[in-house]
A and B are shown apart, each in its own frame.
Chain A
């Protein structure tokens, strides 16, 4: 059974850079069927798609964050990572990693999620 687990700091100072990692267990990140995704949920409960990466390194990002975000993948460690720069209080949220089933499958969409990690931006 595939599981995803986020890891990283829970508290980051304004203007600093957030780095989170999502470790995939029970399956290979190198499957051609999935995009590996970051999503965040604000304290008011709204959900925002941040971006995703294919095992080959192809990425897509939300234009609202594109200048500040990068996502990388390490197939040898079976994990992928999020980097978000120039943090402000508005970036305070629960950050989820999720597996996105591509359109090559009938069941396209986010089928597996990590438990999420709360990131607070505060001095």
Chain B
């Protein structure tokens, strides 16, 4: 199985801050990676697919980059509605696997 290691597991930030979350794959996955946002008691919502393509309807302050084994999700200016948990997902090979999550909290 491909292991997805996300860091940090949690972070505290203020509105307006630039936030970066990293996901590392245990082997190369090309750009077969997505990023998801989950709020309490809700299903995950896709933000990014193909490592860097923005899902329709998602604000442009979210961006993704990377290829191979290292990927990042960046929020350029954190907004109040962005406080949530973020997960990466690799879909390069079965079984599909998720990162452990990064909880973004208010400082």
Q: Is the interface of B mostly helix, strand, loop or mixed?
A: loop
From A4, which residue of chain B is reached at the shortest CB distance? B43
Given A45-B101, A47-B87, A108 and B44 contact (CB-CB distance below 8 Å): no
| Smallest CB separation, A68 vs chain B (Å) | 14
Please determine whether B95 and A49 come into contact, CB atoms closer than 8 angstroms.
yes
| Smallest CB separation, B34 vs chain A (Å) | 4
Please determine whether B50 and A107 come into contact, CB atoms closer than 8 angstroms.
yes
Given A45-B101, A116-B43, A110 and B34 contact (CB-CB distance below 8 Å): yes
Interface size on A, residues (CB 8 A): 23
Q: Which of B46, B53, B100, B101 contacts A110 (CB 8 A)?
A: B46
From B101, which residue of chain A is reached at the shortest CB distance? A45
Q: Which of A64, A109, A114 contacts B91 (CB 8 A)?
A: A109
Q: Which of B43, B94, B100 contacts A113 (CB 8 A)?
A: B43
Please determine whether B44 and A115 come into contact, CB atoms closer than 8 angstroms.
no
| Smallest CB separation, B102 vs chain A (Å) | 11
Interface residues, chain B, CB within 8 Å of chain A? 1, 32, 34, 36, 42-46, 49-50, 53, 55, 85, 87, 89, 91, 94-98, 100-101
